[in-house]
């Protein structure tokens, strides 16, 4: 498989459509991003690397961070987190309040905002500093010591974060929050503000393609736990469109409202795409299209 030629072809085919979709504007700092930015990067478990377009340009990873916070919590204490958060697709918007009240403070899964707040809460309780634990892990796994937060995005989200604050208070009201709500929200906003490129993210996700083995060959968690994170990504990682996404792409993936999508190809590698324009469900329009074309051309889906 000539991955260089394939990525280059997909990039050139889709470049005229760069700018499709709608850039997220509910976090005002994200609305300032040029909608025509477009990059993609593949990192292989064998050390292969191929990139195209804006693949080295850092962007706001937003909800892609949720894969890594979940993985760090599972690595530290195994399955205990599942008493506080479920593993089913939510069938509602990622920031919905209604379901959380109906289900008495147990979020459907760790990738909707309520579930991610529970995971960040636990990581903060376990590590004493969730956002730093996450940043340091991402620096190590990506091999890029320059991975860092975007203070402007974190502040913008905090200022407009009423929905997340409401979710966190709901969780606390149901006894599903260990640390003070304000602390958890702050950690969460900073976590989402991390800036990474497609190249950084493709490398950072490789422990999921390597069944739990980190970049230095040590084990983060068991092969079984890696399988579980991948399974939750497949069923819950692309907002309320995970069914359609699995149908078109067939890879465990996580998207973020910054326009990134990180996809895991177990045993092979990771592919990350960035294009800020989103579809109505919140997934990058070009990101989904790239992944669809990639799995169609290679046959490398999990099915
Ligand atoms: N920081 C964003 C929020 O909480 C993340 C959303 C996302 O990327 O899905 O609203």
pLDDT, one tens digit per residue, over 75-111 is 999 999 999 999 999 988 888 899 999 999 999 999 9
Query: In this predicted structure, what is the pLDDT of residue 77?
Result: 96
List the CATH code of the domain at 3-298.
Answer: 3.40.710.10
Pocket test for ligand 1, best of 100, 257, 287 (most atoms within 8 A of CB): 257
- Distance from C-alpha of 71 to C-alpha of 262, rounded to nearest angstrom: 15
Question: Is 255 near ligand 1, meaning CB less than 6 Å away?
Answer: no
pLDDT, one tens digit per residue, over 103-140 is 999 999 999 999 999 999 999 999 999 999 999 999 99
Distance, CA 299 to ligand 1 centroid (Å)? Answer: 31
Pocket test for ligand 1, best of 28, 192, 193, 287 (most atoms within 8 A of CB): 192
Residues 6+ apart with CB under 8 A from 298: 1, 6
188 belongs to the catalytic site: yes
Query: In this predicted structure, what is the pLDDT of residue 190?
Result: 98
Question: Is 191 near ligand 1, meaning CB less than 6 Å away?
Answer: no
Pocket test for ligand 1, best of 27, 33, 253 (most atoms within 8 A of CB): 27
Question: What is the position in ligand 1's atom list of the atom closest to the CA of 163?
Answer: 10
pLDDT band at 249 (very low <50, low <70, confident <90, very high): very high
Query: In this predicted structure, what is the pLDDT of residue 1?
Result: 84
Question: Is 95 near ligand 1, meaning CB less than 6 Å away?
Answer: yes
257 belongs to the catalytic site: yes
DSSP string, the chain: --HHHHHHHHHHHHGGGTT-SB---SSHHHHTS-TT--EEEEEETTS-EEEEESTTS-EE-GGGHHHHHHHHHHHHHGGGGGGTS--S--SS-TT-SHHHHHTTT--S-TTSHHHHHHHHHHHHHHHS-HHHHHHHHHHHHHT-TT-B--HHHHHHHHHT-HHHHHHHHHHHHTT---S-HHHHHHHHHHHHT-EE-HHHHHHHTHHHHTTTB-TTS-BSS-HHHHHHHHHHHHHHTTGGGHHHHHHHT-S-EEE-TTSEEEEEETTTEEEEEE---B-TTSSBHHHHHHHHHHHHHH--S--
What's the rounded mean pLDDT across residues 153-182?
97
Query: In this predicted structure, what is the pLDDT of residue 94?
Result: 86
pTM for the whole structure: 0.98
Question: Is 96 near ligand 1, meaning CB less than 6 Å away?
Answer: no
Query: In this predicted structure, what is the pLDDT of residue 92?
Result: 86
Checking if the pLDDT of 294 tops 90, the result is yes
Question: Is 256 near ligand 1, meaning CB less than 6 Å away?
Answer: yes
63 belongs to the catalytic site: yes
Distance, CA 201 to ligand 1 centroid (Å)? Answer: 17
- Distance from C-alpha of 245 to C-alpha of 253, rounded to nearest angstrom: 9
pLDDT, one tens digit per residue, over 188-210 is 999 999 999 999 999 999 999 99
Query: In this predicted structure, what is the pLDDT of residue 3?
Result: 97
């Amino acid at each position: 498989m000539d991955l260089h030629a394939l990525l280059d072809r997909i990039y050139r085919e889709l470049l005229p459509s760069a700018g499709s979709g709608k850039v997220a504007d509910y976090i005002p700092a994200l609305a300032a991003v040029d909608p025509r930015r477009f990059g993609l990067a593949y990192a292989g478990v064998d050390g292969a690397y191929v990139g195209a377009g804006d693949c080295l340009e850092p962007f706001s990873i937003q909800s892609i961070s949720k894969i890594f916070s979940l993985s760090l919590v599972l690595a530290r204490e195994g399955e205990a987190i599942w008493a506080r958060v479920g593993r089913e697709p939510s069938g509602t918007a990622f920031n919905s309040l209604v379901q959380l009240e109906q289900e008495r403070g147990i979020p459907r899964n760790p990738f909707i905002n309520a579930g991610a707040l529970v995971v960040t809460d636990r990581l903060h309780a376990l590590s004493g500093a969730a956002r730093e634990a996450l940043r340091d892990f991402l620096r190590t796994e990506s091999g890029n010591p320059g991975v860092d937060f975007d203070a402007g995005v974190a502040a913008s989200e905090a200022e407009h974060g009423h929905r997340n604050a409401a979710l966190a208070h709901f969780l606390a009201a149901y006894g599903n929050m260990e640390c003070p709500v304000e602390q958890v929200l702050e950690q969460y906003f900073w976590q989402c503000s991390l800036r990474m490129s497609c190249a950084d993210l493709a490398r950072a996700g490789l422990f999921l393609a390597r069944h739990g083995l980190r970049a230095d060959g040590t084990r983060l968690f068991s092969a079984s736990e890696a399988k579980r994170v991948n399974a939750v990504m497949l069923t819950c990682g692309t907002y309320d469109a995970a069914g359609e996404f699995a149908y078109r792409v067939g890879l465990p993936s996580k998207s973020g409202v910054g326009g990134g999508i990180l996809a895991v190809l177990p045993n092979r590698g990771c592919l990350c795409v960035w294009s800020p324009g989103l579809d109505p469900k919140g997934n990058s329009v070009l990101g989904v299209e790239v992944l669809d074309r990639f799995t169609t051309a290679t046959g490398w889906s999990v099915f």
